[in-house]
């Protein structure tokens, strides 16, 4: 018989939980906490932060090593991970498919926690939420932290990949100018406009894309904006037939996918390779800016 599921908190349509709720459920065997802290500027920083201090019981998943696959000529800077490989890691953390409640947190306004949130749902596991306020607000609330590593657990995770949640560059090229299709660029305005490009070799955006910076989904303290604000944020797109979201490499776009879900706008897709994939085709007759 399967274990009884942990009741999801009734907050922001169940995909966002408070530090207080998590504090009250730290000992719940049906809750697995995942630390997703990471820095694009220093790939070792997140793991060091985890080793120094983390929420009791939390496991760690690294953006580069766990939540992405290896970089190829095309596919962007953070290709989606192999589903079976990540599934084995999730099972080794004690996560049972569609039974365990996974709580993901970071310290970057959901930039990395939302990647795991989206990946789990992409794999067919809906019981996942992000921690509102992230690690900083957990600490400021006076809740416990530790350096101790959690006790090993064994779970069972068999992914059911939602293949229609993702589009590649061919799909973008085919649909970007169709009536009813909206392409959302999630990067900061200066990168969207091409005023600067600190990471990728080409500045600018995919033709026809509109700009919704991912940071606007939350406030500077790391709390998601209220549901009504999320709805207002997307009010001009909620009648669209299809929304395709991208960013630099398919990571922070997941914050906008979370925001859309909270706003009640369903079915948005991820261009997983995003701008870094688009740039890789420059001069090859596809993806030219």
The residues that are catalytic are 247
| Euclidean distance between CA atoms 61 and 69, whole angstroms | 13
* Rounded distance between C-alpha atoms, residue 262 and residue 129, angstroms: 12
What is the C-alpha to C-alpha distance for residues 277 and 19, in angstroms, rounded to an integer?
36
Rounded CA separation 169/96 (Å): 33
74 and 101 in contact (C-beta within 8 Å)?
A: no
């Amino acid at each position: 018989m399967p274990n009884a599921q942990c009741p999801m908190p009734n907050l922001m349509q169940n995909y966002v939980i408070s530090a207080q709720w998590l504090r009250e459920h730290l000992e719940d065997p049906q809750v697995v906490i995942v630390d997703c802290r990471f820095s694009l500027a220093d790939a070792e920083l997140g793991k060091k932060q985890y080793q120094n201090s983390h929420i009791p019981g939390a496991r760690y998943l690294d953006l580069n090593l766990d939540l992405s696959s290896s970089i190829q000529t095309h596919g962007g800077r953070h290709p989606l991970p192999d589903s079976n490989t990540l599934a084995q890691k999730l099972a080794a953390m004690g996560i049972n498919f569609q039974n365990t409640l996974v709580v993901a947190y970071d310290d970057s306004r959901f930039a990395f926690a939302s990647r795991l949130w989206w990946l789990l749902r992409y794999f067919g596991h809906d019981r996942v939420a992000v921690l509102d306020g992230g690690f900083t607000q957990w600490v400021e609330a006076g809740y416990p932290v530790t350096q101790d590593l959690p006790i090993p657990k064994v779970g069972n995770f068999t992914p059911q990949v939602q293949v229609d949640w993702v589009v590649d560059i061919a799909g973008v090229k085919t649909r970007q100018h169709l009536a009813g299709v909206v392409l959302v660029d999630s990067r900061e305005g200066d990168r969207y406009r091409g005023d600067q490009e600190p990471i990728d070799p080409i500045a600018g955006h995919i033709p026809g894309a509109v700009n919704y910076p991912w940071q606007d989904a939350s406030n500077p303290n790391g709390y998601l904006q209220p549901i009504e604000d999320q709805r207002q944020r997307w009010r001009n797109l909620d009648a669209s037939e299809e929304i395709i979201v991208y960013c630099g490499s398919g990571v922070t776009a997941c914050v906008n996918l979370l925001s859309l879900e909270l706003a009640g706008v369903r079915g948005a897709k991820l261009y997983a390779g995003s701008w870094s994939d688009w740039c890789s085709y420059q001069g090859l007759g596809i993806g030219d800016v």
